[in-house]
Amino acid sequence: MCLAIPARIMEIKKTKAQVDFGEGVLREVDVTLVDPEVGDYVLVHAGYAIQKMDEKEALETLNLWREILSAEKK
């Protein structure tokens, strides 16, 4: 199974972008597969932004991930 996680683009430098997965979890990803702008939400898989997504859907997905992870900690 493959998973892609939404992240918000915080900064872009050529083909790389600093993205925020939420709660300050920052990573550098390759953005050559999308046409990125700072503030966009993208789906990230294996270090690559594979598609842009709308903010509402991204935030809903991130909230679901938080719920899943908090249930795992219990």
The domains of the chain, with CATH numbers, are 5-73 (2.30.30.140)
Burial class (CB in 10 A: 0-12, 13-18, 19+), 58: buried
54-71: pLDDT as tens digits = 999 999 999 998 888 888
Q: Above 70 in pLDDT, residue 74?
A: no
Q: Does pTM top 0.75 for this prediction?
A: yes
Closest by Cα among 13, 15, 11, 6 to 42: 6
Q: How confident is the model at residue 28 (pLDDT cuts 50, 70, 90)?
A: very high
